[in-house]
């Protein structure tokens, strides 16, 4: 089991970015939720969740991302997923979340 590591920065476009390394599961999803909500509630209008180093995601992790997307949209903002790789991308496809999220740089 890989520990969850979160790195918050801004990209070249001035968007807030949270890079996720490791696994998002029932044990680690509360930390991700706290980080994303703090950034959204802090006034971010564009938030990119970089999942290029995501090792695993379960339903609790998917729930956190969907809730964060809703939270952001309620504030007229945009949440984008970036760098989603197989097999995690497959989870988003199976659950039809690829139609809900904007996904950049996915491993097609």
Q: Domain with 21 in it: what CATH number?
A: 3.30.750.24
CA dihedral of residues 93, 55, 82, 7 (deg, nearest 10)? 150
Structural domain boundaries, residue 27: 5-104
Q: How confident is the model at residue 96 (pLDDT cuts 50, 70, 90)?
A: very high
Q: How confident is the model at residue 106 (pLDDT cuts 50, 70, 90)?
A: low
Stated pTM of the model: 0.94
Model confidence pLDDT, tens digit, residues 25-48: 999 999 999 999 999 999 999 999
Predicted pLDDT of residue 2: 73
* Domain tally, the chain: 1
And the tokens for 98? 């690829």
What is the side-by-side strand order in the sheet with 16-24? 5-10, 16-24, 46-57, 78-82, 102-104
Model confidence pLDDT, tens digit, residues 78-95: 999 999 999 999 999 999
Query: Which of 5, 1, 2, 29 lies closest to 18 in space, CA to CA?
Result: 5
């Amino acid at each position: 089991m890989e520990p969850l590591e979160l790195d918050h920065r801004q990209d070249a476009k001035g968007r807030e970015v949270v890079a996720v390394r490791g696994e998002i599961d029932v044990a680690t999803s509360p930390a991700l939720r706290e980080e994303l909500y703090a950034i959204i509630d802090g006034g971010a209008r564009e938030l990119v969740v970089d999942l290029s180093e995501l090792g695993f995601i379960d339903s609790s992790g998917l729930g956190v991302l969907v809730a964060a997307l809703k939270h952001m949209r309620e504030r007229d903002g945009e949440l984008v997923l970036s760098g989603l790789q197989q097999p995690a991308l497959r989870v988003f496809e199976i659950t039809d979340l690829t139609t809900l999220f904007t996904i950049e740089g996915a491993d097609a």
